């Protein structure tokens, strides 16, 4: 199956300094420190200056601390979800979204702690609950609490109550903006810790920065996209219900994307519509400036996108993501495991190895329901002519005469095809969650360290 290439270019040639593990670690360390600093800043200013109002009690101070920490954590969410590339690149966009989810839980828990302590120990300070009679700034605090609680509930229950993804997103952004505005107005209106000129400026300054993030992601970024449209030049059926759209830049092309990265794509809607979806760029950067995305219909919008006719205008926002061979300069080979449409980031990485004539061995284990739905079957065979690629198809239902693997990918399948020397190679996984979960478990049992396993998640929320 594999042919050793004659010529090859040194993989190091394609590694950017930013992908060096030490630089990635430094980046990650910087952002984590910056995050803690943002949370700590209000406490530092309030506790070290002359701004502190006379103490009322430990529980009162605890409640106020929870309130300020909640507001800082909430503000950080706008940066986390604002698609800021320097922030997401050390971690990967999917990890950042997981982080966003857990921090949001933390922020809402702190808000409830803030309100709960006041409710149980200082109830008179809350005044009347009736918004028609209550002080406006206290009503706004309660409105913020309700908005953020609703954000968590709608996100956690979205799939169970079958809330349409697009409408969930509209509700999510609206609740976040209203809740944050109400929370800031609450702090400024109550004024206990923000009445002095300096602390008031701190809160207003911090708010301006966070509003800047919102304007950047919801206004400036879409505006930039409208000046840089793309044109769909072809739509090819790859088999298995996957269609590859090739796009030509009509404005500024994407620069410097790494194989395996993804972009947000919108076709048939303006960049402001929030009807954009993430898709892997399935061509290698070495083949730019045209890019391709390979889409499988999994819902309404992807079903519509696979029918796109050449000539349609598209908007592309990217690149994002870290599922890339370029982050593995020192690897001696690669194990790639894909299930269904999870093949797209794998294909992008294989295209890069192919066009660079990279001699390193790759073992691809590729799971599908039947042979008919295997996407990129011929393309994979073509790539295997050029690089040292071993392809292992694993089919749930097999055709007559099939001699390959049957069933699902499990430890026995992996043991049969992964030689001992591959344990130290990077293992790149993309596919349905039950498949990747089972594969990770099996690989760990086989002695592959967690650090050697990289996962691309197609379901960020």
Query: Under the rule (CB under 6 A), what is the footprint of ligand FAD?
Result: 165, 262, 276-280, 294-296, 298-303, 321, 341, 344, 458-461
Question: Whose Cβ is closer to ligand FAD: residue 172's or residue 277's?
Answer: 277
DSSP 383-407: HHHHS-EEEEEEESS--TT--SEES
Indicate the residue among 288 and 359 with the shorter CB distance to ligand FAD: 288
- Residue 321: CB minimum distance to ligand FAD, A: 6
CB-nearer residue toward ligand FAD: 35 or 431? 431
> Shortest distance, CB of residue 430 to ligand FAD, whole angstroms?
8
Of 125, 12, 9, 136, whose CA–CA distance to 60 is shortest? 125
What is the spatial distance between Cα 277 and Cα 274, in angstroms, rounded to a whole number? 9
220's tokens:
């400036």
Q: How far is the CB of 158 from ligand FAD (least distance, A)?
A: 7
CB of 390 to ligand FAD, least distance (A): 23
Short-list 184, 150, 168, 170, CA closest to 75: 184
The residue (of 276 and 328) whose beta carbon lies closer to ligand FAD is 276
Name the nearest CA neighbour of 169 among 274, 304, 316, 315.
274
Distance of closest approach, residue 396 Cβ to ligand FAD, in angstroms: 20
Structure tokens at 164: 């349409």
Compare residues 29 and 437 and give the one whose CB is closer to ligand FAD: 437
Comparing CA positions, the residue from 332, 351, 323, 325 lying closest to residue 431 is 323
Q: Write down the least CB distance from residue 267 to ligand FAD, Å.
A: 12
Beta bridge partners of 431: none
CB of 385 to ligand FAD, least distance (A): 24
Whether the CB-CB separation of 264 and 225 falls below 8 Å is answered with no
- In the complex with ligand FAD, the residue whose CB is nearer, 64 or 245, is 245
At its nearest, how many Å lie between ligand FAD and the CB of residue 1? 25
Residue whose Cβ sits closest to ligand FAD: 299
Rounded least distance, CB 54 to ligand FAD, Å: 49
Q: What is the DSSP string of 198-248?
A: HHHHHHHHHHHHHHHHHHIIIIIHHHHHHHS-EEEEEEEEEETTEEEEEEE
- Locus of tokens 């092309």: 253
User: What's the CA gap between 16 and 258, in Å, rounded?
Assistant: 10
* Comparison of 237 and 300: residue with beta carbon closer to ligand FAD: 300
CB of 238 or CB of 405, closer to ligand FAD: 238
336 torsion bin: left (phi>0), alpha (psi -120 to 50), beta (else) = beta
Contact status, residue 70 vs residue 107, Cβ threshold 8 Å: yes
Choice between 178 and 461, CB closer to ligand FAD: 461
């Amino acid at each position: 199956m594999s042919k050793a290439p004659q010529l090859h270019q040194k993989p190091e040639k394609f590694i950017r300094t930013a992908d060096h593990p030490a630089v990635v670690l430094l980046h990650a360390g910087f952002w984590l420190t910056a995050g803690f600093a943002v949370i700590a800043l209000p406490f530092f200013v309030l506790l070290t200056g002359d701004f502190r109002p006379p103490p009322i009690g430990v529980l009162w101070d605890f409640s106020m601390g929870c309130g300020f920490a909640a507001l800082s954590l909430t503000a950080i969410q706008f940066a986390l979800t604002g698609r800021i590339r320097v922030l997401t690149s050390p971690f990967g966009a999917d990890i950042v979204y997981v982080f966003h989810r857990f921090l949001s839980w933390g922020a809402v828990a702190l808000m409830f702690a803030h309100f709960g302590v006041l409710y149980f120990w200082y109830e008179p300070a809350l005044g009347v609950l009736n918004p028609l009679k209550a002080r406006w700034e206290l009503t706004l605090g309660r409105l913020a609490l309700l908005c953020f609680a609703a954000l968590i509930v709608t996100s956690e229950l979205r799939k169970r109550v079958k809330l349409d993804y697009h409408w969930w997103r509209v509700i999510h952004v609206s609740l976040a903006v209203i809740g944050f505005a109400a929370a800031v107005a609450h702090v400024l209106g109550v004024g206990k810790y923000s009445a002095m000129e300096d602390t008031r400026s701190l809160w207003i300054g911090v708010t301006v920065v966070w509003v800047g993030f919102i304007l950047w992601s919801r206004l400036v970024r879409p505006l930039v996209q409208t000046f840089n449209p793309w044109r769909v030049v072809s739509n090819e059926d790859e088999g298995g219900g996957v269609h590859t759209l090739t796009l030509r830049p009509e404005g500024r092309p994407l620069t410097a994307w790494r194989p395996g990265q993804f972009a947000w794509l919108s076709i048939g809607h303006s960049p402001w519509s929030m009807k954009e979806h993430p898709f892997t760029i399935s061509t290698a950067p070495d083949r730019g400036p045209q890019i391709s995305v390979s889409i499988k219909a999994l819902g309404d919008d992807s079903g519509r996108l696979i029918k796109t006719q050449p000539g349609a205008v598209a908007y592309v926002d990217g690149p994002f993501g870290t599922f890339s061979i370029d982050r593995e300069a020192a690897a001696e080979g690669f194990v790639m495991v894909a299930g269904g449409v999870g093949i797209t980031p794998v294909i992008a990485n294989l295209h890069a190895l192919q066009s660079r004539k990279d001699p390193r061995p790759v073992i691809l284990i590729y799971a599908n329901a039947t042979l008919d739905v295997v996407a990129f079957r011929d393309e994979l065979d073509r790539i295997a002519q050029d690089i040292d690629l071993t392809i292992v198809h694993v089919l749930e239902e097999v055709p007559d005469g099939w001699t390959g693997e049957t069933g699902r990918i499990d430890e026995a399948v992996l043991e049969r095809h992964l030689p001992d020397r591959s344990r130290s190679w990077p293992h790149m996984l993309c596919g349905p969650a039950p498949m990747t979960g089972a594969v990770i478990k099996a690989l760990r049992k086989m002695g592959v360290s967690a650090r050697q396993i990289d996962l691309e998640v197609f379901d960020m929320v």
